[in-house]
Amino acid sequence: MAKTNAKDKTKLSKDKLLEMHRMMLDIRNFDNKVNRLVKRGVVPGMTHFSVGEEAANVGAVAAINIGSDLITSNHRGHGQSIALGIDLNEMMAEIMGKATGTCKGKGGSMHIADLDGGNLGANGIVGGGMGMAIGAALTQKMKKTGKIVVCFFGDGAVNEGTFHETLNMASIWKLPVIFYSINNMYGISTPISSVINIDYNYRRAASYGIPGHFIEDGNDLMAVYNKFEELVKYVRDGNGPVLVESITYRYLGHSTSDPGKYRTKEEVDEWKKKDPIPRFKKYLLDNKLATDKEIEAVEKASEDAVEESVKFALSSPEPTLESAFEDVYAP
């Protein structure tokens, strides 16, 4: 665990720091809550949790221009969506399949999106968002908007053909994309060591002649943030795409229907010791960047917001039968 040096303290305001802490808390509280709702049978479908990966997500999102820059996501998209500031009420309603959800109950957890806010959406196909990401980046380049795209994917997607094709195309056209692999070291049940012949995926950047970056401790929020600040500037300056990989761990299973037989309890516990949220709290307190009271206020606000979202979702109406036939085509 690297000690943050004093220089970092001056770059970010207290508000921003607390905001980042709040983002992580929201993700943790939201997903834990959904997990409990699933066990109670209240959530009707498939969903994937980001519990444990908060720092890896928030650190990246906090470094971009939220609301202007674009992201694409994968099936494990709660972390990015919440970090981008999606309305928790609508998100909870969507997960419960209600008409008030972000997608009117027709998309579910794997297709949460917020196009106006730059969130081009989670995706049910592994690697499915990568083509979309380079296309969005192509638009920004052709229209000279100065915006960039962060393409989130996991360690499994790197083995899809689309990884190769999209990185190659982005590299020849110098598209403003940050290809970000959040490596939680397991596909569903296969550990990464059994599916790749090298140690880490960031090394693949060399095949495309683009920079490859590595964040060894993806649970260190500031480490992730600092790295991304550097990458965002690089890409926005028109230098072409980059590939970056961070190491983290998911505390809950792959999805709601995963008993987790492929990893040991010891391993999970080891990683729980590196939990990003208490670490960041300690960082804030140790460096006198925020007070106990301030942090507690944020913690409470987060819990309240999540509770509120559950109430909202539970009391929301189901979508009508007619809505199943709407929005198949654009007018």
Partner 1 sequence: MEKETKLMSVRDAIIMAMSEEMRRDENVFLMGEDVGIFGGDFGTSVGMLEEFGKERVRDTPISENAISGAAIGAAMTGMRPIVDVTFMDFIVYMMDNIVNQAAKTRYMYGGKGQIPVVFRAAAGGGVGSAAQHSQSLEAWFTHIPGLKVIAPGTPADVKGLLKAAIRDNNPIIFLEYKAQYNMKGEVPLDPDFVLPIGKADIKREGKDVTVVTYGRMLERVMQAAEEVHDAEGVEVEVVDLRTLSPLDKDTVIQSVKKTGKVLLVNDAHKQSGFIGEVAASIAESEAFDYLDGRILRLAGEDVPIPYNQTLESAMIPSVERIKKYILKLVNNR
Contacting positions for partner 1 (CB under 8 A): 70, 72, 101-107, 111, 113, 115-116, 120-121, 123-125, 128, 130-140, 142-143, 161-162, 165-166, 168-169, 172, 326-331
Q: 166 or 226: whose CB is closer to partner 1?
A: 166
Q: Which residue bears the tokens 């080891």? A: 270
Which residue is listed with tokens 């939680």? 184
CB of 211 to partner 1, least distance (A): 20
The smaller minimum CB distance to partner 1, of residues 29 and 100, is found at: 100
Query: Biggest alpha carbon distance in the chain?
Result: 59
Paired tokens of 197:
């012949």
Kindly state the tokens that stand for 270. 């080891």
CB 82 within 8 A of CB 27: yes
Q: At closest approach, how far in Å is the CB of 149 from partner 1? A: 8
Nearest to 55 by CA among 247, 185, 220, 181: 220
Q: How far is the CB of 204 from partner 1 (least distance, A)?
A: 15
Task: Tell the smallest beta-carbon distance from residue 287 to partner 1 (Å).
Answer: 40
Structure tokens at 13: 């305001």
Specify the DSSP class assigned to residue 69: S
E-assigned strand segments in 64-185:
70-72, 149-154, 177-183
Of the two residues 41 and 161, which places its CB atom closer to partner 1 in the complex? 161
Q: Of the two residues 46 and 301, which places its CB atom closer to partner 1 in the complex?
A: 46
81 with 114: CB under 8 angstroms?
Answer: yes
Least distance from partner 1 to the Cβ atom of residue 136, Å: 4
> How near is the Cβ of 160 to partner 1 at its closest, in Å?
9
Q: For residue 242, give the H/E element and its range.
A: strand 242-247
For partner 1, the closer CB: 138 or 268: 138
SS3 annotation, 243-272: EEEEECCCCCCCCCCCCCCCCCHHHHHHHH
Q: How far is the CB of 254 from partner 1 (least distance, A)?
A: 20
Give CA–CA dist 309/76, Å, rounded. 20
- Considering the complex, state which of residue 111 and residue 236 has its C-beta at the smaller distance from partner 1: 111
Q: Which is nearer to partner 1, 291 or 323 (CB)?
A: 323
